[in-house]
Amino acid sequence: MRTRHSAISLAGAVAAAASMLTMTAHAGTANVDVNITATVVATCNITKTSDVAFSTTIDSTATATLLAAGEVRLTCNKGAAPQVTISNGANFSGGTRRMGNGTDFLSYTLKQPTTFTTCPAAGAGTDWVGATALSATSAFSSNGGPQLIAICGQLTTPQLGASSGAYTDTVNVLATF
C-alpha cells in the first residue's frame, strides 16, 4: 500500500523529469580582456673592431702629421640617443694625450669623424677630448642596428724627445644613452 506522501513524491519526481526533458540546456559563459604589455628601453652595446695603429715606422725627426684610424661598433635599438665620449688615456698630461714607452712619450690627438666612418684631413677636425661627445642620435632615429664609428688619430712630428721603441696608450670609449 502506498502512502499519500510517497504518491506525491513519485508524482513530483515524474513532473520534474518531464519538465527537464522539455527544457533546453544552457551553458554559462564569462569573459575578461587581458592586456599584453612590454616596455622597450633604449639600449646600446659597444665593441671594438680595430685599434688606432700608427705606422710601424715613425721618424720622430720628420715634419708630418701621421694619420691612423680605429673603429668601434655601436649597436642600439631604434630611438636610442647615444653620446660617445673617449677618455683622455693613461698617459694624459698637461692637456695632451700621450703614448708612452716606459720612459718617453709621443703626443697625439684623437679627432671626431666628419661622418661616422670618415676621418678629417691632417690638422683638421674636432678634438675628441674627455667631455667632448659625439652625438650618434641620428644613426638610430629611424632604425636600430649597428653603426661603425671611426676613431681618428693624428700624430704630428717632429717629436725629438722620443727615443726609439714601441709606444702605447689606452683610452676608454663610452656610449651614454
Residue 68 lies in domain: 47-161+169-176
Q: Does residue 7 lie in a domain region? A: no
| CATH number of the domain residue 156 falls in | 2.60.40.1090
Give residue 19's pLDDT: 52
* Cα separations in angstroms, 157 against 28, 66, 124, 128, 174: 88, 8, 15, 20, 29
Whether 146 is in a domain gets the answer yes
Report residue 177 as a C-alpha cell: 644613452
Give the Cα separation of 141 and 136 in Å (integer).
9
In a domain, 78, yes or no: yes
User: How far apart, in whole angstroms, are the C-alpha atoms of residue 115 and residue 98?
Assistant: 25
- Classify residue 91: in a domain, yes or no: yes
Domain assignment of residue 38, yes or no: no
Q: Is residue 144 part of a domain?
A: yes
Looking at residue 11, its pLDDT comes to 53
- pLDDT values of the chain reduced to their tens digit, one per residue, 177 residues: 545 455 455 555 555 555 555 556 678 999 999 999 999 999 999 999 999 999 878 888 889 999 999 999 999 999 999 999 999 999 999 999 999 999 999 999 999 999 999 999 999 999 998 889 999 999 999 999 999 999 999 999 999 989 999 999 999 999 999
Burial 24-48 (b: 16+ CB within 10 A, else e): eeeeeeeeeeeeeeeeeeeebebee
User: What global pTM score does this model have?
Assistant: 0.78
Tally of domains in the chain: 1
Is residue 80 included in any domain, yes or no?
A: yes
How far is the first Cα of the chain from the last one, in angstroms, to the nearest whole number? 95
- Residues 64, 66, 67, 68: what is their CA dihedral angle, to the nearest 10 degrees? 180
Peptide bond into 120 cis (omega under 30): no
Give the count of beta carbons closer than 10 Å to the beta carbon of residue 98: 20
Question: Which pLDDT score is estimated for 15?
Answer: 53
- Is 29 within the bounds of a domain? no
